[in-house]
Amino acid sequence: MPALRPARYAATVLVAAATGIALGAGPAAADIPVGRPMTGKMTYYTDKGYGACGTPIDATSQNLVAVPAAWWTSPNPNNDPLCQGLSVEVSYNGRTIRVPVKDKCPSCDPTHLDLSRPAFASLAPLDRGVVNGITWKFVR
């Protein structure tokens, strides 16, 4: 049976390549910089349904955040360490909020947060749309 191991590995690599799954790529869960402040920008969104963590969300009425895709570490986001009780602490203009990670923002660069409408509104007027110069960090 040892001769089958290389063939199984090759088959796994081919299946992963064909489906777009990267083997061993991306940051490990330990690479999520919990507690490390970052500077970036925030926007808001109003989606309803299920977030990337597999739980119901309503970004029109709940405080939550969609985190940039760069910080997700699992091919199945439902099992991602970000969905295991991590929140984001966001500060702007003398105010700070803490919001749970419930969703993924595929179009956000690594320092761009997409907040739910009420979370954004607690830091800045909605008509701003995009706010640069926020500071934020992952927290447990």
As for how many domains the chain has, the answer is 1
Tell me if 136 sits within 8 A of 40, measured CB to CB: yes
pTM of the model: 0.79
Could you tell me the residue range of the domain that residue 97 belongs to? 27-139
Q: Look at residue 15 and tell me if it is in a domain.
A: no
Q: Look at residue 11 and tell me if it is in a domain.
A: no
- CATH assignment of the domain containing 37: 2.40.40.10
Q: Look at residue 81 and tell me if it is in a domain.
A: yes
Q: Look at residue 12 and tell me if it is in a domain.
A: no
Q: Look at residue 5 and tell me if it is in a domain.
A: no
Q: Look at residue 1 and tell me if it is in a domain.
A: no
pLDDT tens per residue, the chain (140 residues)? 444 433 333 333 333 333 333 333 444 455 899 999 999 999 999 999 999 999 999 999 999 999 999 999 998 989 999 999 999 999 999 999 999 999 999 999 999 999 999 999 999 999 999 999 999 999 99
